[in-house]
């Protein structure tokens, strides 16, 4: 009579360990007002390793219209990630090409 392995269903199972790497990134909106009053802006994601992804650029007629750009970006962020994710104002460290720190306001 053949023997039946009663523990066949209880054989050791391989357990897969999934390593989920959560890469953090910062969404940046940089803007500069040109001499003629037009504001150039760039919106992009900067990864921890310095890579820049998903770069969008544009111009607006004046600084007041930049609020429309921020509003549009925030609407997209709220749709994708919920109301807790928004662009906020932050200070920036600006350096010249020779590595010297620029003053906070350039006239």
Measure the CA–CA gap between 28 and 88, rounded to whole angstroms.
9
Residue 28, Cα to own-chain centre: how many angstroms?
7
- Cβ neighbours around 43 below 10 Å, total: 20
Residue 73 vs residue 2, higher pLDDT: 73
Q: What is the pLDDT of residues 22-55, one digit of tens each?
A: 457 788 888 888 889 999 999 988 888 888 888 8
Residue 40: φ, ψ to 5°: -95, 140
Predicted local distance difference test score (pLDDT) of residue 105: 64
Confidence bin at 81 (pLDDT 50/70/90): confident
pTM for the complete prediction? 0.64
Residue 52: φ, ψ to 5°: -115, 130
Pick the most confident of 11-15, 40-44, 48-52, 102-106: 40-44
């Amino acid at each position: 009579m053949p023997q039946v392995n009663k523990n066949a269903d209880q054989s050791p199972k391989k357990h897969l360990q999934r390593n989920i790497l959560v890469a953090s990134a910062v969404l940046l909106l940089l803007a500069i007002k040109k001499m003629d009053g037009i504001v150039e802006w760039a919106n992009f994601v900067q990864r921890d390793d310095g890579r820049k992804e998903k770069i969008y650029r544009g111009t607006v007629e004046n600084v007041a219209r930049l609020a429309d750009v921020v509003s549009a970006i925030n609407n997209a962020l709220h749709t994708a990630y919920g109301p807790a994710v928004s662009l906020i104002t932050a200070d920036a460290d600006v350096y010249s090409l020779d590595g010297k720190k620029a003053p906070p306001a350039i006239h």
